[in-house]
């Protein structure tokens, strides 16, 4: 399938990023993708694996994507742009752009609209063409977590050995053993963490879990000795699974998932 997206420029901002990320993944899947732009100068601010042209570039395709300006009504009516489908992808909802989207949608020249969320779907529901929700995404290969996780191992009852066994093999977790911190050092250490693990196995009071929470640090625990403030903690019986879920929690918003949704909308 051949897809062309029209953009006003290729400058550094999120609206452009969307079309680059999608294009890269479409090409990886074997599709042909082009961007045409009024200002096609490319600064190299992102990696791309497809060509960018001015408006004298290719114009025949299976799917044509219009977004914000250049004027959508003119693009929809342009006889040089021959496409089996012409879709408007609503990137933002500034008042001036909403008017342009609605006018273009009601022109009868576009196949349908794609919007970011269900609220926007309601906004454009009376435009007379299909409206689909296709959210933006995130590059889950680039934006990955590196979690600093604190724990204590003063006695066997603190569960230090179990914590290390569960987490030392995870490349996105950096373990920090709490020892010899005093006064302001201890407060600073808590505040530097993404998580504190409380994994006690003997009776008592989870002193360090309480201190971490008081410093604004998230606590994950097996529940032992944290009962009075359990509602402030994350509770699990499997630390490795818990932190793997932290690593992959944004996967369903990866650009690959966005492309799957796009292809469904296009009937592919």
Residues 6+ away with beta carbon under 8 Å from 24: 47, 48, 49, 50, 255
pLDDT bracket for residue 100 (50, 70, 90)? confident
Query: Which residue matches tokens 């008042």?
Result: 95
Q: Could you tell me if 115 and 266 are in contact, meaning their C-beta atoms sit under 8 angstroms apart?
A: no
Which residue from 20, 81, 73, 33 is spatially nearest to 55, judged by alpha carbons?
A: 81
pLDDT at 70 over 60: no
Are residues 96 and 205 both part of a single domain? no
As a whole number of angstroms, the longest Cα–Cα distance in the chain is 77
CA distance 1 to 30: 8
Neighbouring-strand partners of residue 33: 3
Are residues 97 and 71 both part of a single domain? yes
Edge-to-edge strand ranges of the sheet holding 131-133 = 52-53, 32-39, 2-9, 60-66, 82-89, 112-115, 131-133
Query: Which residue matches tokens 């309601």?
Result: 122
- Torsion angle of alpha carbons 222, 226, 231, 233, nearest 10°? -50
Mean local confidence (pLDDT), 129-153: 95
Query: Which residue matches tokens 């920090």?
Result: 176
Give pLDDT, residue 56: 81
pLDDT at 57 over 80: no
What CATH number has the domain bearing residue 81? 3.40.50.2000
Are residues 51 and 154 both part of a single domain? no
Give pLDDT, residue 145: 96
Beta strands in the chain (DSSP E): 2-9, 32-39, 52-53, 60-66, 82-89, 112-115, 131-133, 147-152, 173-178, 195-198, 218-221, 234-235
Of residues 226 and 155, the one with the higher pLDDT is 226
Domain that holds residue 165: 147-248
How many angstroms from the chain centroid is the CA of residue 64?
A: 24
Are residues 97 and 203 both part of a single domain? no
Count of domains in the chain? 2
Are residues 101 and 217 both part of a single domain? no
Mean local confidence (pLDDT), 137-159: 93
pLDDT at 34 over 90: yes
CA distance 165 to 76: 60
pLDDT at 93 over 80: no
Is the CA virtual torsion 167, 178, 217, 221 positive or negative? positive
Give pLDDT, residue 98: 82
How many angstroms from the chain centroid is the CA of residue 69?
A: 25
**Whether the predicted model's global pTM rises above the 0.75 cut:** yes
Give pLDDT, residue 71: 64
pLDDT bracket for residue 97 (50, 70, 90)? confident
Are residues 15 and 98 both part of a single domain? yes
SS3 category, 126: coil
Question: 35-39, 221-225, 263-267: lowest mean pLDDT where?
Answer: 35-39
Are residues 24 and 103 both part of a single domain? yes
Are residues 33 and 166 both part of a single domain? no
Question: 73-82, 151-160, 199-208, 240-249: lowest mean pLDDT where?
Answer: 73-82
Are residues 136 and 169 both part of a single domain? no
Mean pLDDT of the chain: 91
pLDDT bracket for residue 79 (50, 70, 90)? low
pLDDT bracket for residue 9 (50, 70, 90)? confident
Are residues 125 and 170 both part of a single domain? no
Are residues 14 and 109 both part of a single domain? yes
Are residues 164 and 186 both part of a single domain? yes
Give pLDDT, residue 52: 92
């Amino acid at each position: 399938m051949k897809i062309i997206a029209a953009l006003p420029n290729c400058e550094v901002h999120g609206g452009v990023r969307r079309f680059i990320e999608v294009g890269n993944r479409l090409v990886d899947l074997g599709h042909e993708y082009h961007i045409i732009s009024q200002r096609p100068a490319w600064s190299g601010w992102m990696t791309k694996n497809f060509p960018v042209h001015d408006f004298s570039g290719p114009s025949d395709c299976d799917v044509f994507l219009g977004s914000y300006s250049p004027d959508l009504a003119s693009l929809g009516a342009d006889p040089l742009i021959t496409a089996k489908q012409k879709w408007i992808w609503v990137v933002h909802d500034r008042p001036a752009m909403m008017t342009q989207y609605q006018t273009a949608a009601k022109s009868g020249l576009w196949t349908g609209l794609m919007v970011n969320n269900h609220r926007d779907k309601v906004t454009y529901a009376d435009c007379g063409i299909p409206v689909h929700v296709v959210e933006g995404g995130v590059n889950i290969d680039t934006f990955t977590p590196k979690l600093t996780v604190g724990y204590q191992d003063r006695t066997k009852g603190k569960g230090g050995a179990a914590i290390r066994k569960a987490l030392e093999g995870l490349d996105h977790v950096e373990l920090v053993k709490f020892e010899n911190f005093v006064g302001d050092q201890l407060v600073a250490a808590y505040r530097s963490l993404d998580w504190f693990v409380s994994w006690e196995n003997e009776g008592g009071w989870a002193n360090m879990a309480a201190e971490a929470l008081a410093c604004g640090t998230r606590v994950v625990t097996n529940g032992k000795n944290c009962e009075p403030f359990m509602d402030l903690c994350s509770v699990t019986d499997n630390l490795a699974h818990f932190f793997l879920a932290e690593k992959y929690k944004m996967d369903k918003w990866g650009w690959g998932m966005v492309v799957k949704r796009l292809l469904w909308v296009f009937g592919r």
